[in-house]
Structure 1
Amino acid sequence: MADSSEHPRSRSVVYAVVASTFFVGFGGGVVFPILPNLGEVLGISAFVVGVILSANRWTRLVANGPAGVLVDRIGTRKPFVIGLAIEGLATFGYVIAIRSAVPEGWFVLARVTWGIGSALVFATAYTITADVSEASSRGTSMGIVRAGITFGFPAGMVLGGLVSEAYSNATAFVLAASFAALASVIAFFIVPETHVETAGSSISPWDLETTLPALTVGLVNFGLYFAYIGVLFSTLVLYLEVESVTLSLEIAGYGIDYGEQGTSGLLMAVSALSGAVFTIAGGKLSDAVGARVPVLIGFLAISCAGFAVLTVAPSFGAVVLACALIGAGQGGVGGPLTALLADLTPEDRMGRAMGTNNIFGDVGGGLGPLVSLPVANAVGYDVLYALSALIPLLAGAVLVAGIYSYTGHLSPTVDESIV
C-alpha cells in the first residue's frame, strides 16, 4: 500500500473525507424513522416500504463493481465528489416524493439515485484512506472514516424523527439535502487525487475482486448489514409500536412525550453513536494488538449479545442497552474489517476490493428489510431477534475459516497479513 509519507496532507485528507461522509450521511438515515409510519398514512404496504428502504442497496449491487473498477482506472477524486453530489440530489428527491400523488415511485427513484451516488462514495472513501495510511495505523484511519459515515447516519435518523415531529417530514428532508450539498463542496475544495496518476482504459462491471480474503471479508460484511440495517433499523419503529415502548421526559416541569418515530430515531442514533465510538476504538485496538481477527471476534460476540437482549421482556432501558450493544458490535468490526481487507489486497486492486465488499454488504442490507418485516409479522419480533443473534456467530466462524485457509494462521499479525 502507499506510504503515508507520500501524502503530507494525509491527516487533512482523512478529516475531509470524514466531514463529507458525515454530512451526506444525513440522507441515508433520515428516511428510517419516517417511512415505516408514513407508509400507513400514504397507503404504502409494508412490502413496498421494505422495497423503498432497500432500493439503494439493490442498486449498489449493480453499481459497486463498476465504481470500484472506476477508482482503480481514473482515481478517487472525481468519483468521490460526483458521488456526493448525486446523493445530495437524491435526498432532495424525498421532498418531491412526499408531495407527489405517487410517492412510492418517487421514493424508489430517490433511493435508486442514492444507491448510485453512495456506491461511488463508499468505494472512494475507503480507498483514499488506504492510500494515505500505513499498515501500522490503517485500522485507526479506517475506523475514523467509518465513524464519519456512521455518525452521519444517526444524525439523519435524529433529524428524521425529531424534526418531522416538531415541524414536518418535508422540512426534515430539505435540511438533510442542504447538508448533503455542503458535503460535496467540502470534498471539491479539499480532497486531492490519491490513487492513480493517469487514467486507465476500459471498465468492466464484472471485474471484481474474487480472492479468498475479499470473499471472506465480504461474507462477514453481508451478515452484519443483514442483521443491523436489514433487521434492527427496518423493524425498530414497528417493534416499539407493538410493545408500546416510547420515551417520556420531564424538563423544567414540562413533560415531553415522543412517539414511535421520535423514539426510534433516538434509539437508532444511540446504536449508531455507539457504533461510531467503537469503530474508532476497534480500529485503534487492532493496530495496538497488531492483529485484526481477535478484535473482530470480540465485537461480533457483542453484537450477538445485543440481539439477545432484545428478546427479553420489553422495556425502554432494555431496548437502549440492546441498541447500544448491537451498535458497538457493528462499529467495532468496521475499522478492523476494512483494514484487514486493505492488508490483504494489492494497492492496484483496492478499488475493486472495496467495491466487492460493498456488494456483499448491500446484499445483506437489501435482503434484510424484505425478509425481516414479513417474518416479524408472521412469527413475532422475539423470534426474529433471536434468529438475528446467530448471524454474528456464523460470521465469526466464516472469518476464522477464511483467514486460516489463506494465511495458515488463526490470527495472523498485521505484518503477516501485508501483501
Structure 2
Amino acid sequence: MAQIGKAPCDETLILHGLHGSRAGEGEGSDCPEAARPWVLAAAIVGSSMAFIDGTVVNVALPAIQSDLRATAFQAQWVVESYALLLAALLLVGGALGDHYGRRRIFAIGIGIFALSSVACALAGNVQQLIAARAVQGVGGALLVPGSLALISAAYPEKERGKAIGTWSGFSGITAAVGPVLGGFLVDHFSWTWAFLINVPMALLVLWIVWRHVPESRGASASGGLDLWGALLATAGLGGIVYAFIEAPTQGWGSVAVLAALAIGVLGSVAFFVAERKARTPMLPLELLRIGNFSGANLLTLLLYAALGGGLYFFPLNLIQVQGYSATVAGAALLPFIFIMFALSGWAGQLVDRFGSRMPLVIGPAIAAVGFALFALPGVGASYWSGFLPAVVVLGFGMTVTVAPLTTTVMNAVGADLAGVASGVNNAVSRAAAVLAIAVFGALMAWAFDTALAGHLREMGATAQLTAFLEGERSNLAGAAIPPGADAATAAAVKRAVAESFVAGFRWVMLSSAALAVLSALSAWLMIRSTPPAAGGTDGKK
C-alpha cells in the first residue's frame, strides 16, 4: 500500500502525455474509431496490473516473510526493488514510447511484467523474489506511461475527456478491489497467486494490442533520450535506499552501507549536473525556478513520503500484531479510497473557488491529524474505534489535496511543458515513497529495538532468552517465539514483540504527521493562490 490509488497527475499524464504526446497536438486522431474502445480496454487492464501489484504485495508481505524465512528488511526490498526501478525509469519509459512506438513499448512492458510475475511466483528464496521484483519495476516503467499515452493518441480532443473519465473510474475500482483480492488469495491459496494473477491479464492485453491497437509516436521522437539521467537517478535513489534499509542490520559504520550512501549522494548530485547539460532532460531544471511548480513538488515530496512510508507498515500492524487476516487488512483502506473517489469532483472545484494555496495548506494539515490518529491504537485495538477514524480523516485530507495539487502543477507552466511537468510530479510522488519506506524502516528498527530491550528488562528475561530475541529482532513483528518456552514465557514474549512494533509504528506515524505539517507549511510559504500567467511565470494578476 505504499502507493494508494493513483499517483498525482495521472489524469494529466493522459491528457498531455509524457514528453510531448499527441494530446496537445490537435483535434484529430489517426486511430480508427472502431479501435478506440479496444485501446481503452488495453490501457485499463494494463495499468490495472501495475496498480494491483503496487498494493497487493504489501498485504502479502507477512506471508512472504514467513514462507521464505525473510527478515523484515528483506521484505522491504521486495517492495523497494520494484518501486525504485519504476520511479527512476518512469519518464524514460514514456520517452521510449514516443521514440520507438507507444504500442511496441507498451507491449514489451506488458511482456516483461508478465514474465517477471511468473518469476516472482516461482522464487525459491527472498533474493530471487527481490531480483524478479526489480525486473517487474522495469516492465512497469514501460507499461504505465505507455497505457496513458495510448489513450492520448487514440482519442480526438473532444472525446478524450470521456475516455479519461472511464480510465479513472476503473482505476478507482482497481485500487479498491486489488488489496482485498490479494488478501483473499493469500488467505485461501498462497501469496504466489498475488503475482500469478497478472499472467491472464497480460495475455488478454497482448491479444488486444496485437489485434486492435494501432502504432503511434510522439512529436518529440527526435529529441533524444536522457539515459544518463535515468542511470544517475537510479544510482542516487538506490544508494540512499540501500544504506537506510541495510544500516539496521549491518550498522552505519559498515563499509557497504557507507559506500552505498556515498554512491547515493554523489549519484544525486551528478543527476542534477547531468540534467543541466542534457538535450532532453528528465527534469528540466528551469521548471524549478517557477515558484508554484517547485512549491507543489516540495509538497508532493513531503506528503507522499508520509503516505507511502507510513502506510507501508499499516498492513503489517494489522496482520502481524492485531491478528487480522490478509483479506481484512486489504479491505482496511477501502474507506480512504471511497472518500477520494466520491469527493474527487468536489475537490476539483476548490481551486476555482478558493485558489490553490488554501486547499494545499488545509488538506495536508487534515492529513497530519489522520496520521497522528494512527499512533493512538495499541495492541488488540478494534478496527472500528481504533483505525477507522484515522483512515477516514486521512482520506479526507488527501482528497482535499490531490486535485488542487494536480491543478497547481499544470497551471504553473505553459501548455507546451504540461506533459513534462505532470510526469515530473508523478515521478516525485513515487520517489518520495521509495525513500520514505527506507528511512522509516530504519526508524522502525531503532524504536523496535529500544522498546524490546525495555520490555525484556521488565520481564527479567534470562540471558539465553535475550540472546535468542537479539537474533530475531530483524524480523520485527514476525519474530519467532523461543523453542521450548513455557506458555507464560511465550505469551510474554509475544506481547513484548507486539508492543515493541506498535512503539515503532507510533514513531513512524508521528513522523508522517510531521511531514504532512511540513508539506502544509511549504504550501503556505511557496504557493501563490493566483494562478501564474500562461507561459509559466509567477507574476500576480
TM-score range with shorter-chain normalisation? 0.7 to 0.9
2:328 matched to 1:263?
yes
Report if aligned partners of 2:109, 2:143 keep a CA contact under 8 Å in 1: yes
1:94-133 deviation digits (Å, cap 9, x = unpaired): 2112xx2xx2122212221222222234434556677879
Within 5 Å, which residues of 2 pair with 1:3-402?
Answer: 5-6=27-28, 17-71=43-97, 73=99, 76-97=102-123, 100=124, 103-125=125-147, 145=167, 148-186=170-208, 196=218, 199-205=221-227, 206=229, 207-209=281-283, 210=285, 211-212=287-288, 214-232=293-311, 234-241=312-319, 243-244=321-322, 246=324, 259=325, 261-279=326-344, 281-283=346-348, 285-286=349-350, 289=353, 291-313=355-377, 314-317=381-384, 318-330=386-398, 333-346=401-414, 349-379=417-447, 380=503, 381-402=505-526
Higher mean displacement: 179-188 or 385-394:
179-188
* Separation in structure 1 between the aligned mates of residue 167 and residue 537 of structure 2, nearest angstrom: 21
Larger Rg: 2
Change (3 A) 1:50 1:198: closer
Q: Is the 8 A contact 1:72 1:351 kept in 2?
A: no
AA paired with 2:428?
F
How far off is 1:24 after superposition?
4.1
Note the alpha carbon deviations across 1:289-347, whole angstroms, 9 max, x for none. 49544444443233223212212234311312322433444455444433433344455
Determine helix, strand or coil for the equivalent of 2:430.
helix
| Higher RCO, Cα 8 Å, sep 6+ | 1
Which sections of structure 1, spanning at least 5 residues, go unmatched?
Answer: 247-258, 405-409
TM norm structure 2: 0.61
Structure 1 296/86 Cα, relative in aligned 2: closer, same or farther at 3 Å? farther
Quote the offset at 1:184 in angstroms: 4.8
Inter-partner Cα distance in structure 2 for 1:236 and 1:37: 15
Measure, in 1, the Cα distance between the counterparts of 2:55 and 2:355.
32
Separation of aligned partners in 1, 2:357 and 2:212: 34
Distance change >3 Å, CA 222–CA 3, structure 1 → 2: same
Distance change (3 Å), C-alpha of 1:294 and 1:183: farther
Q: 1:243 to 1:57 in 2, by over 3 A?
A: closer
How many residue pairs were aligned? 393
TM-score (norm 1): 0.77
8 Å Cα contact 2:57-2:194 kept in structure 1: no
Shift of 1:393: 2.4
How much identity, in percent, do the aligned residues show?
A: 21
Q: Note if contact 2:411-2:531 (Cα within 8 Å) is conserved in structure 1.
A: no
Matches of 1:59 and 1:309, distance apart in 2: 32
Which secondary structure does the structure 2 equivalent of 1:25 belong to?
helix
CA, structure 1 residues 24+370, in 2 after alignment: closer, same or farther (shift >3 Å)? closer
Mapped partners of 1:288, 1:130: distance in 2: 25
CA contact (8 A) 2:306 2:511 kept: no
Contiguous gaps of at least 5 residues in structure 2: 1-15, 17-23, 230-280, 448-502
In the TM superposition, what is the alpha-carbon distance from 1:196 to its structure 2 partner? Answer: 2.3
Q: Provide closer, same or farther for how the CA distance between residues 84 and 43 of structure 1 changes in structure 2, counting only shifts above 3 A.
A: same
Q: 2: distance between equivalents of 1:296 and 1:244? A: 34
Q: Secondary structure at the match of 1:223?
A: helix
Q: Which amino acid is 1:378 matched to?
A: W
Q: Could you list the per-position Cα deviations for residues 391-415 of structure 1 after superposition, in whole angstroms to 9, with x for gaps in the alignment? A: 22222333454443xxxxx342897
Is the alpha carbon distance of 1:287 and 1:402 closer, same or farther for their aligned partners in structure 2, counting shifts above 3 Å? closer
Q: Deviations over 1:117-175 (max 9, x none)?
A: 2223443455667787979x98x987875564454344332122112211222334322
